[in-house]
A and B are shown apart, each in its own frame.
Chain A
Amino acid sequence: MGQITKIEIITRPEKLNELKEAMYAIRVTGMTVMQVYGCGLSHGYTEVYRGQEMMINLLPKIKVEIVVSEIPVETVVEAAKKACQTGHIGDGKIFISSVDDAVRIRTGESGVDAIRDRRDEEEIVNSIIKQ
């Protein structure tokens, strides 16, 4: 069985559109996006309510999960890095892990076939990338 790999990208919410476009450019159209909070090296900030000061150093981030089998992992990671990098603290992290198995619920396919684009659905993928 071929290798299935998950790439988790935790980065700034405002980078989401750029990241999506970068993924479309390498023919990755499937992804899961979560709203998360994260901290690393960033300083928090203070809010004040009737004199009561509140500290927050957990900042809103997005976590994008992408699973690939045919498309090389390096391609995905390079594209994501390029899209999300600003050079400032808070750019985030990318985690790569292997997936034991996968299933496409619609067709029941499993393994690598569940992840890679089906030949007969190439047109649909092309239309999504063009939009």
Chain B
Amino acid sequence: MEKNKRGYRIGLLAGLLSVLLVLPAMAADETIAVDTGDTAFVLVSAALVMWMTPGLALFYGGMVRGKNVLNTIMQSFFIICFVSVLWILVGYSLAFGPDHGGLIGGLDWIGFSGVGLEPNPDYSKTVPALAFAAFQMMFAVITPALITGAFAERMKFGAFVVFTILWSLLVYAPAAHWVWGLGGWLHELGCLDFAGGTCIHILSGVSGLTVCLYMGTRRGYGKEAMIPHNMPMTVLGAAMLWFGWFGFNAGSALGANGLAANAFVATQVAAAAAAVSWVAVEAVVHDKPTVLGGVSGAVAGLVAITPGAGFVAPFPAVIIGAVAGIVCFFAVAVVKKKFGYDDSLDAFGVHGVGGFWGALATGVFATTAVNPDGADGLLLGNPSQFFIQACGAVSCAVFAVIMTYVILRVVDATIGVRVSADNEVTGLDVTEHGERGYVSMDSFSAMNMFTPVAQHAEKAKELQYDIH
């Protein structure tokens, strides 16, 4: 009797154990294959990318004159608000929705309908579609904010909102579709852009150049001093950008894995190398290593490594960063003065030029050893990748120029883009927002004591563009 009872117990135990062993297999059969590590990483990365936009607000805010600090900050801050709404309404669908002609997504996913808790295997096999859409939302938010640097201190706020809405839908969404959308023509061509060197940095940088050329220089440019009013604010903003960029680049691996680790390290070393090279060049050319140079260099390096963070190995990232620091320094400190355009906060000099270098550099240094879904670059005997990269860079640039110009013409004809000359002198915080950034600030500013040293005497006379 006792032996039988023990036998039954063993049998029951064995039966229970075997059921337990079978359970995982049963779970794997189900369609939800969400990986908790990947999902956690993507969601946190999305939050990190969101952090970059207020970071940009402070980065830019410290660089303008005190009377315009709130207007500058508000541009970036308010973009977070209305572009997020735009993205869920229609932006995501246009950028990532089912393809039409390789050029644009459709309206299938308006209001995020069809974007749910299950992964969309076309974009992220282990991460819910909503998490991917949220991650991409933060990219869509920061991209137009980058342009604001080009037209700082002179655009009407209403015009800026309308311009940005149109730009987000008509310029960013298509470009993002080309590069990342399933069926997008640059994607099909094999253009490598890990986190947005082409459809984010080149696109916004070149658009910025278009806007500043269209609008003309700030009143008094070249004659009055226009220097950063709060450098510590700019440094804080740059630090926020750098920190958030880990989400921007590493998060684009869409998984908590080795590729993300590669992107993370590449991001850090590129930023660091670029800051060192910018400061070094500056110390040689101007005899002083500046803080503004340090943070500008770091941002240039971050921009340059954006397209390649998940395609190049960490050591080449150092080279990409070091070159970016030098190239962007000359774009900002030499070329801009030579041609006399007022890209106020160097949206083109840093994002446009840095993005161009980064996109091409990806074509040089890419290796499938880092990312089997990528390609080998020029150094590994595949020169065609370099030309594909150039194609992606140039097409985004050309598209940016044409579309930005058209949007500007439309907005200018209807609302008017530029503030009046009087308002520009008073300061946009007061005229556009009825606020002041610093209550104790009066009209007498120490900045009146500075005089720009004309670098090229003849050019200085030509610098006075017409104010439209």
Contacts and interface: CB of A to CB of B under 8 A. Distances in A.
Interface of A: 37, 46-56, 58
User: Number of contact residues on B: which range applies?
Assistant: 20 to 34
Interface in B431-454: 446, 449-453
B452 A51 contact: no
B334 A52 contact: no
The 8 A-B pairs at the shortest CB distance, nearest first, are namely A51-B333, A53-B453, A54-B450, A58-B449, A55-B451, A48-B286, A49-B227, A56-B450
B339 to A, nearest CB: 13
Contact of A54 (B285, B332, B337, B451): B451
A12 to B, nearest CB: 17
Contacts of A49: 227-228, 290, 292
Interface in B302-350: 329, 332-334, 336-337, 346
Contacts of B225: 54
Given A48-B286, A49-B227, A49-B228, A54 B453 contact: yes
Nearest to B328: A50
A51 B227 contact: no
A53 B293 contact: no
Contacts of A47: 227, 450
Nearest to A53: B453
B286 A54 contact: no
A51 B286 CA distance: 7
Interface string B275-309: 00000001001101010110010000000000000
A47 B293 CA distance: 13
14 contacts: A46-B453, A48-B282, A48-B286, A48-B290, A49-B228, A50-B293, A51-B336, A52-B227, A53-B286, A54-B225, A54-B451, A54-B453, A56-B449, A58-B449
Contacts of B332: 50-51
A52 B293 contact: no
B384 interface: no
Interface of B: 225, 227-228, 282, 285-286, 288, 290, 292-293, 296, 329, 332-334, 336-337, 346, 446, 449-453, 455
A50 B333 contact: yes
Most buried by B among A37, A46, A51, A56: A51
B226 to A, nearest CB: 8
A82 B334 CA distance: 49
B449 A37 contact: yes
Contact of B452 (A37, A54, A58): A54
B455 A54 contact: no
Given A46-B453, A52-B452, A54-B225, 9 more contacts: A50-B332, A51-B286, A51-B334, A52-B227, A53-B286, A53-B453, A53-B455, A54-B451, A58-B449
Contacts of A58: 449
Contacts of B228: 49
B66 to A, nearest CB: 15
A50 B289 CA distance: 11
A3 to B, nearest CB: 34
B450 A55 contact: yes
B51 to A, nearest CB: 25
A56 B451 contact: yes
B300 to A, nearest CB: 11
A48 B450 CA distance: 11
A48 B227 CA distance: 9
Most buried by A among B286, B296, B449, B452: B449
Most buried by A among B332, B333, B346: B333
Nearest to B290: A48
Contacts of A48: 282, 286, 288, 290
Nearest to A49: B227
Contacts of A46: 453
A50 B449 CA distance: 19
A47 B231 CA distance: 13
A51 B450 contact: no
B451 A51 contact: no
Given A37-B449, A58-B449, A52 B290 contact: no
A44 to B, nearest CB: 9
A13 to B, nearest CB: 13
